[in-house]
Amino acid sequence: MLDWQIPINKIHEKHCSKIEKGADDTLLYHYTSPAGLLGICKNSAFWLSDSDFLNDSSESAYFYNIFQEVVHSEDDERKKEKIFKFNAGMFSLYHASFHTSHRETAQRIKETRYILSMSLDRDNINLWNYYTKNDHSLGYSIGMRKDAFEYLYRHDEDESLLAGKVIYDPDKQMQLLTELCEDYWKLYLTLQHTYQRNYLYEKMEDNIVRYSVFMKNPVFAHENEYRIAVVRLGSNATQERLFREMNGAFIPYITQPINLLDIVEIGISPTHRTEFVTRSLEELLEAKGINATIYNSEVPLRY
């Protein structure tokens, strides 16, 4: 590593560490439908959906707006000049994906994010309400230790796997992004060569991408979400991009293999507490060799 790269890498790692990962024994819960649970058990894999097609369709726009607010938060001329020099190249490329008129170009340069939504809550009424919207009004919560995902973590030139708690607090979001811009700006002033500044832009963009994955509108704070995310650069792909139908739309996704033995708990939604449902779940887990505790939701039903 060259001497001039060291401070840039330190700033990059500093902001990577701002995404909270929690203790290794933290339990994460994936709420899903009966068909979803059956698919996971049959295929030993989760589905990670393209973030452009998540339930919150405004998610990307939300991050774009708060980042714009940070970048343009001061009106003095020096700050305007700084903003232009520092962000012109990197910022325009990163946000090309938000402009449908440049869709073809955006597909070549954008980062595609595939998201697996987990929750830190074992028995969340809001998530039960969402994942029991099926013919049987039944849902399940799959509990796994966070460290079960550690062996999945990867980072190479074209694809990386990220994990951490979602940040909902707008003040914290603004603080982190403001600090990010200021940290890289100070380093930018010390660099004399284009190749050095390009390296800085790369590292900063990586931090921006990470923050974009883990920052959401505070109206979703009740989900207490923990995310596993695969970020794929440009059109490069290490595996096939698949599609599933949902409410008449076609949702792009990729698969992420898991070890079914890492499942430690499975919760049954408050809409069904019957012996028949519990017994059928026990049969499925036994057939798949899954030694998981089964529990019923304690959320009281209201009619």
Which tens digit of pLDDT belongs to each residue from 177-196? 989 988 988 888 898 898 89
Q: Which one-letter DSSP state was computed for residue 153?
A: -
pTM: 0.85
The token pair that represents 32 in the structure block: 């899903």
Better pLDDT: 204 or 29: 29
Q: Residue 88: what pLDDT?
A: 45
| 46-103 pLDDT, tens digit each | 999 988 887 666 777 788 888 878 877 665 555 555 555 555 445 544 544 444 443 4
**Locus of tokens 């992420």:** 256
Q: Residue 269: what pLDDT?
A: 94
Residue 235 makes CB contacts below 8 A (sequence gap 6+) with: 107, 108
Residue 270 burial (C-beta neighbours within 10 Å; 0-12, 13-18, 19+): buried
The token pair that represents 236 in the structure block: 């490069």
Residue 294 pLDDT more than 50? yes
Residue 133 burial (C-beta neighbours within 10 Å; 0-12, 13-18, 19+): exposed
Helical (H) or strand (E) element with 212:
helix 194-214
Better pLDDT: 2 or 141: 141
Q: Residue 247: what pLDDT?
A: 77
Average pLDDT over residues 237-241: 66
Q: Which one-letter DSSP state was computed for residue 123?
A: S
| 251-289 pLDDT, tens digit each | 899 988 899 999 999 999 998 878 999 999 999 999 999
Q: How confident is the model at residue 240 (pLDDT cuts 50, 70, 90)?
A: confident
Long-range contacts formed by 51-58: CB under 8 A, 24+ apart: 51/112, 51/113, 51/114, 51/115, 51/213, 51/229, 52/112, 53/249, 53/251, 53/252, 54/115, 54/117, 55/130, 56/216, 56/217, 56/220, 58/217
